Structures are given as C-alpha cells and as structure tokens.
Amino acid sequence: VATLTAATYTPTGTVPPTKRAIITLEDAHVRWRADGTNPSVSTGHLLKIDDVIVLDSIEEIRNFAIIGLSPTSASIMISYER
C-alpha cells in the first residue's frame, strides 16, 4: 500500500496550503481509498488506466492510499492545487 508524501502536499515555508489533488493512473489497474482505511486487492475503489481522481480536501489527501492489482508496476501522476 502506498500513500502520498506529506512533504509534497504540506511543504514548510511560505507555500500556500494544498486545496486539491488531481491524480491520474498509468500502466496498471489499482484500488484506492481516502477514508483512512487501506485498500486491498478486493476492497476500495477500482481505478483503471487513464482514470482520474480528484481529492477535494487535505483530509482526503492525507488519507489517500493505493494498492496495485497486478505484477506490473502502476504509475500515478499527481498535481496539487494551492
């Protein structure tokens, strides 16, 4: 199970706080959750290649967790809006 890096969405200094994360998936299907519970291969929301997730709060961003469903590595691209 992987999560987002806190240093990226809550950096130190004068950077404005993160308001939203936009996540896209490449390479392999995954399951995800943003409620503080880890997903498994049978629980959580299914995310397919080229799907998009929008996390609209810092709580969802902090609680986001993802797990791959195949031996192929999945890559996610994340854009943070401030």
- For residue 22, tell me if it sits in a domain: yes
Q: Which domain holds residue 32?
A: 15-81
Mean pLDDT, residues 62-81 taken together: 94
The gap between the terminal CA atoms of the chain, to the nearest Å, is 26
How many structural domains compose the chain? 1
- For residue 71, tell me if it sits in a domain: yes
- For residue 76, tell me if it sits in a domain: yes
Q: Write out the two tokens for 72.
A: 């192929």
- pLDDT at position 17: 86
pLDDT tens readout for residues 23-42: 999 999 999 999 999 999 99
Predicted TM-score (pTM) above 0.75: yes
Q: Write out the two tokens for 48.
A: 């397919």
- For residue 67, tell me if it sits in a domain: yes
